[in-house]
Structure 1
Amino acid sequence: MIQFPAVRRGPLRAISARLGFAVVLVCLIVLIIFFDRDGYRDVNEDGLTLLDCFYYAVVTLSTTGYGDITPVSESARLANILIITPARVLFLIILVGTTLEVLTEQYRTNLRLQRWRKRVKNHVIVCGYGTKGRAAVGTLLENGLDRAQVVVVETNPAAVRQAQADGLVVVEGSATRSTVLKEARVEEAKAIIIATDSDDASVLVTLTVRQLTAGKVSIIAAAREAENAPLLRQSGAHHVIVSSATAGRLLGLSTTAPPLIEVVEDLLTPGQGMALAMRSARRDEVGLSPRELTELVIALFRRGKVLALTDPEGTTIQTGDMVVYVRDDRPQAVPAMP
């Protein structure tokens, strides 16, 4: 099931609004009848009281119509034609408003689903919206990816609601099932981020994605244990991040070299100061040393291989290289108006 982000009103608030509107409508009709009460005939022929006006308004709007009070003057009949009859239709719409709202919502959902399926392409699928999945989505959005280009696959109802609240499209189901991944348009995706809670589920998702895409989609998987990383790569993952080993190394750095952990946290935390970035080498930079560029270059990415600046092949920029550098990620101050 595909869930779209939506802002919903509470049921009590919706019912209260309909009830209030119905009461206002009844009171309006009562006033119209009361001011023209001489144009109505009662079976008792003693004239209409305020209570009679309420009685006539209620039985008329609810289409009960006992016939004991009838309009006889031209003005009363004209008011029934132009005002009370349309009000009766509106009153019935209010009574069945919940059903109409459900039908309308279903139609809108189907229409959104059709439009989404037509335009979704080159998107990123995130399997799992736990701590790792939310952090991955946050990084994607901070790097300029449109929220509409992110699709979350999740089974946990709480995580599904959280993803919807974050404005993301959610495919509710297990990412290990090919039908669920097809609903997420895995064949049209640019990348798959696998952030499940267990390594065995990650392996199964990776195998399923590779089977459906024939290796054409980039697969990035997270592994809890380092011993499972080779298995994920053999299953088809292009990149594997070992969360436990990474956390362990950071813990070790925080003990032996505390300033280094602050640098790493600065690089990983958006908006703090420094951030890692990558761009294509420009034509006028080909042949230059990475150290000659204005940015602080830390590595080159060439034909699927990372080249350190100490590597003999990384001393000169070539055509097609990707430059990995450190950029200033601090919020830019808005200049004061003169």
Structure 2
Amino acid sequence: MRSAKPGARTTPRFYRRSVLSPSVTLLARVAAALVLVGIALAGHWFDREGLRDNTDGVVSFLDVVYFTMITVTTVGYGDIVPVTDRARMFDTFVVTPVRVFVWLIFLGSAYSFLLRNTWERWRMAAIQRRLHDHTIICGFGATGREAADELVRRGCPPGEIVVVDQSESALEEAVDQELATVHGDATHNAVLAAAGIERARSLIVTPGRDDTAVLIALTARRLAAHVPVAVAIQATENEVLASDAGATVIVNPVSFGGQLLAGASRGAHIADYVSDLVTSHGRIALRERAAAAQDIGLHLRELRPGQGLRLYRDGRAIGFWEEDAIVHEGDTVIEVLPQDGA
């Protein structure tokens, strides 16, 4: 597995969109508090004749600063007091609301940076514990987004799809689609572990780079050897590397597109039929399932309601045209059936 570079971020976190960064939010709140205190200070200074210092009888600027801060943060000590009606009304209708707003700012900051962060960490840990039989998509580029859309069209709840990416803009798109998200580098063990790789139903790897895809597949195989891994590979020569890394399914969009175009050149409806097979909105659907009790002893051609195409037994693929295409217990069946029966 790849080791982290010095200073690199390896700790995963569930992504939660925020309009402002924490530091900017804190600075904005401090600035708001200072503006409010400044309003109270200016009012007291310009109307300092309405104040009385019971200590020395002179109200200096430092006395005004002291009186303003004490009045805004508490109720004062009585050493400096407003004595005129105007000064008392200013304290009543200006300083008192300022005091309330300043305390709200302080309490809001404490909630945002202490209580809420603690709550979010607890909530995200609870989400992690609940993740089970979900699909993880590593890389939310064009291919990853299309994979997520197709999963949703096939009936997968958005909450059962976890997107792992380092791009916050990509994660924002995933959040807009109500998908669960993890911010981090999927080539690191901790990130895939945070996404619940050991309890996942499947892993889709679409980072946009073949070397990264192979590393993610290796990491996933080390953490969860039982989880099927589908990897998108751009270069044909890298398919063998993905296979050696443990990829269960390797999809090369370039070669697949070329094969589909070549097939379409031999028949006008081939591409349409293949599109029907691989998308949720077609008239027919491919389904992989374990052989059921009622299938045992039947030939692939005899399966209903679909049409059996292939079965897998002990790592061997058996087509419907072969004589031994009889379903046995423990076989995996690939069949095609009408979309409404899928």
- Return the TM-score normalized by structure 1: 0.68
| 2:212 alignment counterpart | 201
Q: CA deviation at 1:9?
A: 7.2
**Number of the residue aligned with 1:107:** 118
In the superposition, relative to structure 1, how do residues 197 and 9 fare at CA in structure 2: closer, same or farther (>3 Å)?
closer
* Distance change in 2, residues 1:2/1:173 (3 Å): closer
> Which of 202, 205, 208 is the equivalent residue of 1:191?
202
Amino acid at match of 1:171: V
Q: How far did residue 121 of structure 1 move? A: 3.4
Which structure has more RCO (C-alpha within 8 Å, separation ≥ 6)? 2
3-state SS in 2 of match to 1:236: coil
| Match of residue 319 from structure 1 | 329
- The answer as to whether partners of 2:158 and 2:177 remain within 8 angstroms in 1 is no
CA contact (8 A) 2:144 2:206 kept: yes
Aligned counterpart in structure 2 of residue 68 of structure 1, from 75, 82, 97: 82
What letter corresponds to residue 205 of structure 1 in structure 2?
A: I
Q: CA-atom RMSD, angstroms?
A: 4.2
2:269 counterpart of 1:255: no
The letter of the residue matching 1:224 is Q
Secondary structure of 1:258's aligned partner: coil
Preserved contact between residue 302 and residue 320 of structure 1 (Cα < 8 Å): no
**3-state DSSP of counterpart to 2:288:** strand
1:237-263 Cα distance to aligned partner (Å, 9 max, x none): 222122211011112233332211111
Deviations 1:288-334 (A, max 9, x none): 223233323142333344322112221x2222333322333369xxx
1:148 aligns with 2:162: no
1:244 aligns with 2:258: no
Contact 1:63 1:88 in 2 (8 A): no
Q: Residues 28-59 of structure 1: CA distance to partner in whole angstroms, max 9, x if unpaired?
A: xxxxxxxxxxxxxx99xxxxxxxxxxxxxxx9
Letter in 2 for 1:284: Q
Alignment partner, residue 297 of structure 2: 287
> Given that residues 139 and 164 in structure 2 are in contact (C-alpha distance below 8 angstroms), is that contact kept between their aligned partners in structure 1?
yes
The aligned length equals: 288
C-alpha change, 1:180 and 1:167, in structure 2 (3 Å) is: same
Alignment match of 1:126 (pick from 124, 134, 137): 137
Check if 1:306 corresponds to 2:317: yes
- Name stretches of at least 5 consecutive residues in structure 2 with no aligned partner: 1-10, 22-27, 33-49, 52-69, 86-91
Map of 1:36 onto structure 2: none
Displacement of 1:128 in angstroms is 0.9
CA distance in 2, matches of 1:271, 1:317: 29
Output the CA distance in 1 between the equivalents of 2:168 and 2:18.
17
Taking structure 2 as the reference length, the TM-score comes to 0.68
Change (3 A) 1:4 1:93: farther
The aligned amino acid for 2:250 is V
The residue that corresponds to 1:231 in the other structure is 241
Structure 1 residues 60, 318: closer, same or farther in 2, change over 3 A? same
Distance change >3 Å, CA 229–CA 9, structure 1 → 2: closer
Task: Give the C-alpha shift of residue 233 in structure 1.
Answer: 1.1
Confirm whether residue 272 of structure 1 aligns to residue 282 of structure 2.
yes
Q: CA deviation at 1:87?
A: 7.6
In structure 2, relative to structure 1, the CA distance for the partners of 1:271 and 1:105 (3 Å cut) is: farther
Q: Unpaired runs of 5+ in structure 1?
A: 20-41, 44-58, 72-79, 81-85, 332-338
SS in 1 for 2:269: helix
- What SS does the corresponding residue of 1:311 show, helix, strand or coil? coil
Report deviation, 1:3: 5.3
- The question of 1:161 aligning with 2:172 is answered yes
The Cα offsets for residues 107-149 of structure 1, whole Å up to 9 and x where unpaired, read as 3311212212322234332211112212222333333433333
Matched residues in 1 for 2:282 and 2:84: separation? 76
Partner of 2:150: 139
* Range 182-191 or range 148-157, more displaced: 182-191
Cα 1:9–1:180 shift into 2, 3 Å: closer
Q: Is the 8 A contact 2:134 2:200 kept in 1?
A: yes
Q: Is the 8 A contact 1:123 1:191 kept in 2?
A: yes
Number of the residue aligned with 2:67? none
Q: Could you tell me which residue of structure 2 aligns to residue 177 of structure 1?
A: 188
